[in-house]
Structure 1
Amino acid sequence: MCLLKGFPTDDWTETETRLAYWGLGLYMGVGRTQNRASEFINDVRDAGGSYKVKGGRGYNTNAKLDFHTDSCDVVALICRRTAKSGGSSKVVSTIALRDEVQRLRPDLLAVLEQPFFHTYQGTQDASQPPFYPLPIFGQQGEFFCGRTNRKNIDGALRDFPEIPRLTPQQLEAIDLLEELMASDKLCFGMELERGDLQLLNNFVILHSRTAFEDFEEPDLKRHLLRLWLAVPGSQPLPEDWEVYFIDGRAGALRGGVRGSSITPEFLAYEKRQADALGMPNKPWAPKVLKEAVAA
């Protein structure tokens, strides 16, 4: 993880901040689409959304968020405005989390390496099923990776009766993770200030946020801009993670959620940008088709 401070967001307009942030992102990687509208910069602010509902996302609410990772190599957040109160950022190392499970309940490690079904929350391509199986812990050679989102596991069980129910051991394992992630031993908190840029490696860092109360004045309301990036220095992923990330090769163009509004201009951009950064890339194609799952 990395925290860079001092970007002049008080001097920049919102449009200038967005442009400067996008320009900075071009030096780091390839922007990935983030929602059902296939947007590649998201406004993280309370827009009246609901969190733990079907299709709910956390970025447009003021809710406390479950610990989770995003669908990319690196998630970037630049802070324009802070909340009246709350909205603290929290992070946990998935490596430290794995080690603590090993110490306390080594019998559950193999369980966490099994697939857990997650909902796409409606952000999938039309050709994909609405849910996907993905382990919480994985290993590719010397590279460990961890990924979880309890809300999306619970949502898949709630919305799709056709997927397998959790076994008692699986439930015990994710309950243990919830307890450990919130503990003072593993969880590190920070206050993102105006002009701060936070960068997190999504395979070794989980993140969360406390609930917040906003100001009344529109330009004082909490506002961050989020980029999801595929980066040329990324690690390789296990083969069974490709059902979600599509391409598991180190440094490859991968990640993001397709949504329903991918344009030819965006496809041209991502290929041009990946080529400029020397990143392996291939045309996007789902590993699992909706029709195959239905059959």
Structure 2
Amino acid sequence: MNQIAQCRSWLSRDVERDTSWVRFLSDAAIEDIDSALQHAKSTSKPLLSLTPNDFPLAQAGLEEIQAAYASTQQGWGFCLLKGFPVERYSVDEIKTLYWGIGLHVGVARTQNKNSDIMTSVKDTGGQYKVNGGRGYNTNAGLDFHVDFCDVVSLLCIHPAKSGGTSLITSSLAIYEELKRTRPDLEAALQKPFYFSLQGAGANDEPNIYPCPLYGESQGYPAFRTNRKNITAAQEYFDDVPRLEDDQIEVLDWLDEMLKEPRFCFSMNIEKGDIQLLNNYTVVHSRTDFEDYEEEFRKRHLLRLWMTIPGSQPLPDTWRMAFKDIRAGAVRGGNRGKGITDDFLAYERRQANYHHMHNIFSG
């Protein structure tokens, strides 16, 4: 796979004109997924004990799911896969379905201090810009950021009454724009920025990590930002080096450019859609939203953080953040405080199944 040749920078007008990033599940794939779900339910296994053989996808379902994930590693770097018949199923069945298809593409990462393997993106009254705050349990608009994995996957069960629009920007295009218009700031991107883990680190690791915003490995570019977590590291960790003037300036520049309409594309995620984003070439956000009053109609998405066998190598300067920077390695995630033996067994089993490097669980 040649990431430089295949993964392209884009402007918002490009993805408006060419909608090849939208994929539709075929009827055959939908039936394959339903059949696999029924088989998985018959095993009565919890999610972490399920294997790909427990969720046996036939050819159409397997090929369409794997092709969608593979598309994030080339071309636009993102995909919207439409047509999951979520109205057929209970929320628990949807979770099993969603987890089951993930078994066929890679290894899920834990996402928070509780070491959750799947999170509900739903307003439960959380606060965003506070110490330890996360965006997924609020109705707030979010800073542009990337998640701690190769591919972030969002499955929409219910959209909001209004708002909650997904915003995505090509980090490759932003980097090109910075080199063209602000070459004086290019070096600042490659200085270490300290990020807070917002309390989601493992018990034996610090709750901060250094990581430049941009780097390359073997010709593969990678970009990373989350200003809220950078600010939190500055505010709550006295031993973190203070940001230099050019680092603050480049963060301010990014705040403006990432949302600039020329670069930023707005996408509505509808019921039954799965959005897949490459976290090294696409930065994302969302607008704030208003919910319905009825609990069963409230905005509800399910999120998986996936590491996949077709992933690119990462810069050596990202090693402290991701632990393993080799292409196709199990990496990233917020390890959290709740890692179990069942998760370690799942992680090891999935890594072996997909022939992925795995330094976490042997």
For 1:206, which of 269, 274, 283 is the aligned residue? 283
Deviations 1:187-241 (A, max 9, x none): 0111100000000010101110000010110110000000000100000011120
CA distance in 2, matches of 1:284, 1:127: 15
CA distance in 1, matches of 2:188, 2:258: 18
Residue 106 of structure 1 aligns with an amino acid whose one-letter code is P
Q: Displacement of 1:32 after TM fit?
A: 0.5
Q: 1:1-295 counterparts in 2 under 5 A?
A: 1-283=78-360
Deviations 1:145-184 (A, max 9, x none): 0000000011111111221111111111110011100100
Residue 201 of structure 2 aligns with an amino acid whose one-letter code is Q
Q: Displacement of 1:127 after TM fit?
A: 1.2
Contact 1:69 1:206 in 2 (8 A): yes
SS at match of 1:68: coil
CA distance in 1, matches of 2:86, 2:263: 31
Residue 125 of structure 1 aligns with an amino acid whose one-letter code is A
Contact 2:348 2:361 in 1 (8 A): no
TM-score normalised per structure 2: 0.78
Contact 1:63 1:212 in 2 (8 A): yes
CA distance in 2, matches of 1:59, 1:262: 21
SS at match of 2:87: coil
SS at match of 1:192: coil
SS at match of 1:10: helix
**Cα distance, 1:88–1:112 mapped onto 2, change above 3 Å:** same
CA distance in 2, matches of 1:244, 1:37: 19
The percentage of counterpart residues that share the same residue type is 52
SS at match of 1:66: coil
SS at match of 2:250: helix
Residue 79 of structure 1 aligns with an amino acid whose one-letter code is C
**2:50 alignment counterpart:** none
**2:29 alignment counterpart:** none
Q: Displacement of 1:283 after TM fit?
A: 3.1
Q: Displacement of 1:10 after TM fit?
A: 1.5
Q: Displacement of 1:284 after TM fit?
A: 5.7
CA distance in 2, matches of 1:130, 1:233: 29
- Alpha-carbon RMSD across the aligned residues, in angstroms, is 1.0
Q: How many pairs does the alignment contain?
A: 285
Deviations 1:55-91 (A, max 9, x none): 0000000000000000000000000001111000000
Between Structure 1 and Structure 2, which shows a larger proportion of strand residues?
1
Contact 1:231 1:253 in 2 (8 A): yes
Contact 1:73 1:230 in 2 (8 A): yes
SS at match of 2:320: helix
**Cα distance, 1:215–1:207 mapped onto 2, change above 3 Å:** same
Structure whose CA Rg is larger: 2
Residue 27 of structure 1 aligns with an amino acid whose one-letter code is H
TM-score normalised per structure 1: 0.95
Q: Displacement of 1:97 after TM fit?
A: 0.8
Residue 243 of structure 2 aligns with an amino acid whose one-letter code is L
Residue 81 of structure 1 aligns with an amino acid whose one-letter code is H
Between Structure 1 and Structure 2, which shows a larger proportion of helix residues?
2
Contact 1:246 1:284 in 2 (8 A): no
Gaps of 5+ in 2: 1-77
Contact 1:117 1:132 in 2 (8 A): yes
Contact 1:88 1:189 in 2 (8 A): yes
Contact 2:345 2:361 in 1 (8 A): no
